[in-house]
Every structure is written in C-alpha cells, then in structure tokens.
Chain A
Amino acid sequence: MLGRTAQNLFWLSRYIERAENMARMFEVGYRMSLTSRREGSASEHLISMMQAAEVDEGFNLKHKQADVNAVAHYMLFDEENLSSVRSCLLAARTNARSVRTALTTEMWESINAAWLEFSAIRPRDVTGAKLQELLFWIRQVSHRYRGALLSTFLRDAGYAFSQLGNFVERADNTARILDMKYYVLLPRASLVGSDVDIAQWTMILRAASAHRSYRHVYHDRYKAWNIADYLILRPEMPRSLVFCVDWINRTIDMLEDIYGTRTKGHDAADAVTALLKDTTVDRIFEHGLHEFLTEFINCNNQITDALAESYNFY
C-alpha cells in the first residue's frame, strides 16, 4: 500500500469523525446558550464551547459578537475555519477522491453523497428547527460512513489506518468535550456540586450522546465524578478515552501482524495507554482534570506524528 494511501485513509476517517464532533460541540454550546441563562450569557456559553473546540481565535478575528448565527456559520459553513463541518466534509471527500481505488463503493458513495447534499445547502436558510435537523444529519453522515466501513471494508492495513484515524480523532474530541468543563468552570467554588454545576456536566454528557446510557451504567443521578469516570475510564462507553485507546491498540497491533514489525507508532500508543492505566477518577481530579486532559491530548497527537514517520505518510 502506498504511504500516501495510508495517510489519506487515516485523515479521511479523522475528518468524518471531526465533522460529527464539531456538530456535537456546537450543539452543546447552542443548547447551553438557550437553557443555561443563569450561569452566563448566551455568548459566554458559545465562547467557552469554541475555546474547547480550539476555534475561538479564528472566530474572534472575524466576528465581534458571538451570537448564535455567527457561531453556527463559523462552525458549520465557514471555509476559512479549517475545522468547520464544511471544511471537514470537503477534506474528507478530497482524501476519498485521492484513494478511491482503496475505498469500497459504499464508503465512497456515503462521502460523495454527503458532500453533494451539504454543498447544496444555503447557510442563510439554516435557522431554528432547520439547524437542529442539520446537526442531526451531520451525525448521520458519520454513521453512514462508519457503517459502510465496518460492513464492507476488507480487514487489511487500509482498515487499520482508517480505524486509527477514527479513534485518534474521537479520543481527541472526547478529551476536548470534557475539557469544556474547565472553560465554563464557574469562578465561585461554592457552586461546585450545585445544580448549576450539574447542568453543565449534563451538557457534556449530551455532547457525547451519553446522557441516556449514563443511567443504565450508573443507576444514579448525574454526578461530576461519575460523568468523568464514564467519559474517561469506562471500557463499554464507545466514546470514552479508554475505549478509543483500546481500539488504537487493537488496530496498531493489526499493523504489527500484517507487517511483522513494531514501530514508533506502537511506542506512542503505549505512552497514551500508560496515562490511563491503573488510574481512577479520584486520582485524576486530584491531579487536576484540565492538566490530565491536556497531557492526554498532547500524547494522543504524537500518535499521528509517529504513524506518519513509521508508515511513510508524506
């Protein structure tokens, strides 16, 4: 397999996953701006959400006011925002075109159709209920692609690179969604553990589509400790860091089986695994949630560099 093909497959999956997560992040900020007026103004919620998504700087260069329309446009449609849903879907399709021969028809069609549909949308038509509908649709795009990947793709190195891209990106996003809590953390310590605090944690669960499954796992009301545990350490939660890292390890081991050698990619995956091994939520909070997540994100990023070096991405 060409190194470039491996690279394209890796990034194709990343961009699809990122499009989905951008839509989720926006959705959370949007909901908070509508429902959590007591804890801050609408624009404060939107800004903290953009900080967590690391798109706030770019936004501030273009906009003075963080109102819903401006933020929706920036995160969903803006070509200059390289993480916008539009940019992600276009980048995914460009990568897919480059490796069309490596994709199944189903995978290609899911991406191509998504791009054709998305590019036909006029941003100014997307308000109110239409906006909700679009956010739902974006998640479906990602699910269609994943579905096609899982049910049609040959289990060879190309599959492994696709899965790596998917889970490296998802881990990054879950860490960022959790970190959103840091950015919206209220200045007054007295509020920690209060209803207000819980409302924000609930939003974070929503961003990970985990607010309903949480109940099944914990049989308890929403509690900060549990929620962090759920999104970081629970192996059965498909967006948790442990789950993502487990898949990163599985697929990188697949590459070892196929190619017969361990690479720097494995070392990088080991480093991330070590961060999560034998730890507990208590210890993470003690250490500082934000510090833990920052370290995780950095460590996770290094997997990409290590893969690029080991498998001749260029």
Chain B
Amino acid sequence: MSATPFDEMHNADGSVREPYLILEEWLKEQPPHALSLMSGDAEALFRRLGITFAVYGSNEGTEKLIPFDIIPRIVSALEWRKLSKGIEQRVRALNAFLHDIYHRQEILKAGRVPEKLILNNSAFCPEMMGLDPARGVYSHIIGVDLVRVGPEDWYVLEDNLRTPSGVSYMLENREAMLQLAPELFQRYKVAPVEGYAETLRRTMESVAPGGIHGAPNLVVLTPGIYNSAYFEHSFLADQMGAELCEGQDLFVENGKVYMRTTTGPERVDVIYRRIDDDFLDPLTFRPDSMLGVPGLFDAYRAGNVTLVNAPGTGIADDKAVYTYVPEIIEFYLGEKALLKNVPTYNCTNEEERAYVLDHLAELVVKEVHGSGGYGMMVGPTSTKAMREEFRKKILARPDNYIVQPTLALSTCPTFVDKGIAPRHVDLRPYVLVGDDIRITPGGLTRVALKKGSLVVNSSQGGGTKDTWVLED
C-alpha cells in the first residue's frame, strides 16, 4: 500500500490528469464562496424534491439527505470502454452461472466451484431449480461496485445482483449538476444518463411472458414508504410510467397476477420488485411476510409473470462465491476475467485464518451476508477493542466472514468544510440485461466524506458525486 493513494484528478507529480483539465480551469474561475453557495443550493434542491433516505434504527419519519458533492468525478471515454467490456463480461458469466446452478450444475460437477459452498448456502434458492425465466436472464438489474487503486487498476468489490439501489441518485445528481453548473456542460461532452428509465422499460418489456396482446403491464413493487429506498422506488416508477405497487395492491388468481384498480382487477406482466426474496411470497418463502403477495411465486413458476430480478440471484453475489468469479468467467466464456477481483482470505482455511488473525490491523473484514457498511471492520482505522471483537467473531464463525487487504481506494477532490480536499471514492455503474446488455455511461460515485475514511456507504456518513463519462 503506497503512502498516497491514486488521485482521480492529479498525477503523482501534482499535474492535472487530462479529463480534469477543464474542470481545473473552471474551479479557478469561481469567485470565493461560489462553491459554498452551490453546495447550499444543491442541498435545498434535494430537500425540496424529497430525495431522502430513511436511516434504519432512527425514528420513523426522520429522513436524511445523502450529502451531494458538487465536484464531479470524471472518467475518460477510453477508461469507460475498458470498464464496460469488463463489466459486460462479468454480467454475462454470472447469468450463465445462475442458469447452470439452477439446472444441470455443470460447474459443480466439474469441481470448479465447491458443491457445498452453493448447495448449503442460505442464498441458494432450491425453489428456482429447473425454472426457466424469460430469455434465460436471472439478474436484469445490476450495480457493480468498483474501486480504483491506480490509473489502470480497477477492482470489483461486489457484483450486487439482487436489488441494487442508488440509480435514482445517479439521475438526480446529474439533474442537480445541470442546474448548478450548466456552463461546465458546454465545455465538456458528457455522455447522457437520462435514458436509463427508458432503457429499464425496454429491458422489462423484453422479458415479459409470452402471449401478451399489446404492451406488457409493468409495475414496481415496493415494501412501502418506510423503506429506506422508497424515494428511488417511486422515482423509477414515475420515470417509467409504471404503477408503484405495494404487496397489498397485488393478488394472484388462477396463477395470474392482478393489481387492484379503481375499476377492478388488471393483469400484471412484469414486476420490478424491490422486496427481498424472503418476503416476496408468504406461501413459498417467509410465512410471516406482510410485504409480499401470496401465490406470486406460483404465478412466476407458471410463466405468467416475470420477476425482475429473479429470486435466488443472491447465490451469485454471495461474498464467499465472489472469490470464484474469475473461475466462473473462464468456465462459461472461456475468457480471462478483464476486471480484477480483490484477493480474499478464506477464514475456514486454517493457514489463511492464522494469517488473518495476525494481521487484522491491516485487513478489511466483512460479514458474508452483510451490506450497507454494517458488520464490517476496516483494520487501519479500527480500535483495539474492535479488533478483539472481530477476532472472537471470526473464531466463532469463520465461514461467516471474508477478509481482504485494505485497498488504497482512489481519491477525488471533494468540497468539504475547509475547501477542496481529496476524499476516497468508489463507483457503481448500472447494467441492464434483457434482450441485450446495456450499461449506462456513468454511475454512482460514492465518497467517504470523513478525512481518511474508506467507508463510502450513505448509512455511514458517505456522500455522492455526479459521475461523468466523457464522449470522444
């Protein structure tokens, strides 16, 4: 780990990297306090529009804003082409993996991925065995978490094949930037992101069940207004012109899904569900679920409705399965992985565990099923007590944790209290898979606003930036 991490804007010698030259000029032109005013405007804008998220564990009705940083993160056209190739390869392989796992399980028979890891995994969904989703697509909406440690050095942290969130921020951040700094868009050729909702619609239509007359009826299924991502659910439904439903709005009759409208039942064809597998259908999964729709899975199995994403995709983004992704790519595509995986220590292996326990202060420990920055420990910024706690946890349940080296995430100039300073960032581009694979040029850049912090999650004090992919 080098002392100074790679900076998105500056070379090691302090000169400005090519994609950021115009931005540098623009920043210099800004009168004092201009950025501070813009920052205030941005906050007012987001609050007025109600772009908020609920924080779990805080009181009902308290909605927080995710801080928005006004300095964009810029990716050159060439960098983006390389990234998208790598992402596309991964997404193709992971969908093929899901199809195989829920059919003949060739990869397990070939011994390339341990059978136990899949079949005993709580993310494996036996109900999906032998089921054929439309076009063979399991994961339609994907958000790949990437971090960068050098000019050419990108790593995939997580594949997020279940219900990745944050895409509304990608879209709203762009709207905010267009309002706040329109002159920058005159000087830069920034690839548009606003086609996302339209592409999502096309993607959903392309996986509608057969035998539908006219345009398929699409809906977004939300757990409701108290869900932390509710804003996004309503935003996407609105942008697509789809109905935003809660479980209580849908019902199943004779294996078909209907929504309750003012004029009676109306057939539903494709559901973009933002409810976890477990809660989808109390008759098939968790019986105590109040959020789902009884009988939904049967309707899905009968091919009368498409669920986007399919249940059981979690097996392919499980943190323990993650280590096998390079294998998976080779097995199904016969290609070498274009994007790197972060080397991962397996704590069930005695030798690796011993190394991990000796080096906790340098490593990152993650719970296999954790998310949102919860249940993780970043060694270099941890306290002794935390390390002791995690040592005990790992010894008690070695299979519940994965451990990785602490990556020197790249930094990007960020507007903070004391002016502009480098802060660590990651990047989540969004991928849509239906009749084709489409990657929106851009994504969500999350930024750790606390100096030195490597945790970018919004629930842990992270913010976001607009992400610009430049056109040639």
Contact = CB atoms under 8 A, between A and B. Distances in A.
- Determine the main DSSP class of B at the interface with A: mixed
A312 B48 contact: no
B262 A157 contact: yes
Given A2-B259, A311-B262, A314-B260, A108 B50 contact: yes
Contact of A4 (B237, B249, B263): B249
A3 B262 contact: yes
B263 A2 contact: no
Contact of B238 (A6, A98, A100, A109): A100
Contacts of A157: 262
A112 B48 contact: yes
B248 interface: yes
Nearest to B245: A2
B294 to A, nearest CB: 15
A94 interface: yes
Contacts of B225: 94, 97-98
A5 to B, nearest CB: 8
A116 B47 contact: yes
A113 interface: yes
- Determine the main DSSP class of A at the interface with B: helix
A267 to B, nearest CB: 17
Interface in A1-26: 1-4, 6
Contacts of B230: 97
B234 interface: yes
A112 B262 contact: no
A28 B259 CA distance: 46
A101 interface: yes
Interface string B249-269: 100000000011111100000
A259 B261 CA distance: 11
B234 A100 contact: yes
Given A101-B244, A109-B49, A2 B249 contact: yes
Nearest to A2: B249
B298 interface: no
A105 B47 CA distance: 13
B50 A2 contact: no
B50 A100 contact: yes
Contact of B261 (A1, A98, A108, A113): A1
Nearest to A4: B249
B380 to A, nearest CB: 39
A101 B261 contact: no
B60 to A, nearest CB: 10
B277 interface: no
A3 B261 contact: yes
A4 B50 contact: no
B115 interface: no
A224 B234 CA distance: 51
A243 B96 CA distance: 65
Contacts of B243: 2, 101
Nearest to B47: A116
Contacts of B69: none
Nearest to A313: B262
A101 B243 CA distance: 8
Contacts of A4: 246, 248-249, 260
B247 to A, nearest CB: 11
Nearest to B242: A101
A98 B224 CA distance: 7
Contacts of B264: 312
B262 A312 contact: yes
A94 B230 CA distance: 12
A105 B234 CA distance: 12
Nearest to B259: A2
B237 A2 contact: no
B61, B244, B248 — most chain A CB neighbours (10 Å): B244
B462 to A, nearest CB: 23
15 contacts: A2-B243, A2-B245, A2-B259, A2-B260, A4-B248, A4-B249, A98-B225, A100-B244, A101-B243, A101-B244, A109-B50, A157-B262, A259-B262, A311-B262, A311-B263
Interface of A: 1-4, 6, 90, 94, 97-98, 100-101, 105, 108-109, 112-113, 116, 157, 259, 311-312, 314
Interface of B: 47-50, 61, 224-225, 230, 234, 237-238, 243-246, 248-249, 259-264
10 tightest A-B contacts by CB? Answer: A101-B238, A311-B262, A100-B234, A97-B225, A3-B260, A6-B262, A101-B237, A101-B244, A112-B50, A1-B262
